[in-house]
Amino acid sequence: MLAAENRLEVARRSHICGLAPYLDGNGVLRAYGRIDAALCIPYSAKRPVILSHRHSLTETVVRHAHVRMKHQNVDATIAEIRTKFWITKMRRVLQGADREAKKFAEVFEPERIQIKLSSKGIDWIFNCPANASVGQGLQGPGRLFEKD
């Protein structure tokens, strides 16, 4: 960040070395490159905000994109995030989010919920994929059906 502020070259060992970082008029660290020549791409995609994988805002951005993309695979989520942000070590951050989703599925105990709802005359199907990055499909994590 200090190098970008002083218009100095970023250290070669830095995670953002290849991104050509600069500070915009608002003091936000952004990346620029050859994509600037594209006319049909919005400014936020041409010059994304650079976030560290350790930054507190990163987790919020990743969760929001994951939900907005309806829990699709990692590549779809990365594409969504990169329309506005460039997160260092993004795949590692998303793998952490996948681990959290798997833990949720373990804690969620769909069998116990199925039994409880069945006793009230409601069939419930839990659609949890074996790989959390695969997604839920259009139905979401579960569907309810009234018994006739």
pLDDT tens digits, residue range 74-106?
888 899 999 999 999 998 888 776 666 666 667
Q: Is 50 exceeded by the pLDDT of residue 138?
A: no
Record the tokens describing residue 49, joined without a space: 């905000």
pLDDT for the residue numbered 23: 87
Domains of the chain by range and CATH?
Answer: 2-104 (1.10.340)
> Stretch 61-83: mean pLDDT, rounded?
87
Angle, to 10 degrees, between the axis of helix 90-108 and the axis of helix 74-81? 130
Buried b (16+ CB within 10 A) or exposed e, 77-114: bbebbeebbbbbebeebbeebbeebeeebeeeeeeeeb
Higher pLDDT, 2 or 29: 29
Q: How far apart are CA 14 and CA 20, in angstroms?
A: 11
Total residue count of the chain as it appears in this document = 148
Strands 122-126 and 142-146: antiparallel
